[in-house]
């Protein structure tokens, strides 16, 4: 049974103008399913509708058409305790950690907030769970009394991740959650996510435009373009995209090693700095 299933979902926004109502179609005919413990990437360029779909999946907005089901139950039918359970089992980490964390709250208060609203635990039980998730996200206990402006970007993103994981969700949605970090911090967060997924058996929907991150973390990739899923395929190295949007994103990936140009006769030779001299690839242009 799929944990989350989306069937033929479309979404549009309307506005009133001088000539009447106008509608902007954002999503068209989206269908997908995510199983327990699975890592799925939603890959697409900026503005293709990825974040809008994420808001629909967590119930912040309702689709204009189609169905979104959690454990085979439409989100539109969830009420009371069922809705509270849904809120606990699906969590989201946003791209902008600075906006997602109240600068006036301490790290302890930020991480504790979901426990107060979604779980009935004693103070001692809350403290125990906070200590456990701080260790899992590699955050020092000395940060608990700090506030967001006192943290580095990597620390703050891990605080947001700890806040999402504190209720031990079944599905974690990461909306460009590492895009604002440098490459070293990105690698650290990806490894941390792998560890958390093994520990909690949490499914992940990894929303990104960066194919390098997809190849390191996910098992399956959905390619999105102009509000539609245009391709679904397993993650391989290298990826074998058939769709034009997927191929375009693949071409946009920077080379793994820096390339320098060396003069050679009438043309140029491209030499990889990291390759052994005998095995360096050479491309000569006349």
Among 6-20, 83-97, 125-139, the least confident range = 6-20
Q: Domain 4-240: which topology? A: Rossmann fold (3.40.50)
Q: Give per-residue pLDDT as tens, 197-206.
A: 888 889 999 9
Among 8-12, 31-35, 53-57, 186-190, the least confident range = 186-190
Tokens of 211: 């194919």
Q: How confident is the model at residue 182 (pLDDT cuts 50, 70, 90)?
A: confident
pTM, 2 dp: 0.83
In this prediction, residue 284 carries a pLDDT of 46
Q: Give per-residue pLDDT as tens, 21-47.
A: 678 899 999 999 999 999 999 999 988
Q: Which residues are CB-contacts of 74 (< 8 A; sequence separation ≥ 6)?
A: 67, 68
Cross-strand partners of 204:
39, 172
* Rounded distance between C-alpha atoms, residue 31 and residue 228, angstroms: 9
């Amino acid at each position: 049974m799929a944990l989350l299933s989306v069937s033929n979902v479309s979404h549009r926004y309307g506005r009133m103008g001088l000539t009447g109502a106008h509608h902007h179609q954002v999503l068209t005919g989206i269908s997908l399913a995510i199983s327990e413990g699975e890592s799925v990437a939603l890959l697409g360029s900026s503005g293709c509708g990825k974040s809008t779909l994420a808001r629909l999946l967590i119930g912040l907005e309702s689709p204009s058409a189609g169905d979104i089901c959690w454990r085979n139950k439409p989100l539109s039918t969830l009420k009371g305790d069922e809705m509270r359970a849904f809120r606990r089992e699906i969590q989201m980490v946003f791209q902008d950690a600075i906006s997602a964390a109240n600068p006036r709250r301490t790290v302890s208060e930020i991480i504790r907030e979901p426990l107060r609203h979604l779980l009935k635990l004693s103070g001692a039980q809350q403290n125990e769970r906070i200590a456990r998730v701080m260790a899992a996200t590699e955050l020092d206990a000395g940060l608990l009394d700090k506030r967001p402006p006192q943290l580095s970007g990597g620390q703050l993103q891990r605080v947001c991740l700890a806040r999402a994981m504190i209720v031990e969700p079944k599905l974690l949605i990461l909306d460009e959650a590492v895009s604002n970090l440098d490459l070293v911090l990105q690698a650290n967060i990806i490894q941390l996510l792998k560890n958390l997924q093994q520990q909690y058996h949490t499914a992940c929907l990894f929303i990104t435009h960066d194919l390098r991150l997809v190849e390191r973390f996910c098992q399956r990739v959905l390619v999105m373009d102009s509000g539609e899923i245009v391709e679904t395929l397993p993650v391989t190295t290298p990826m074998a995209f058939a769709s034009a949007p997927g191929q375009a994103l693949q071409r946009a990936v920077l080379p793994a090693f820096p390339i320098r140009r060396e003069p050679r006769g009438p043309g140029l030779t491209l030499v990889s700095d990291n390759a052994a001299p005998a095995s360096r690839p050479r491309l000569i242009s006349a």
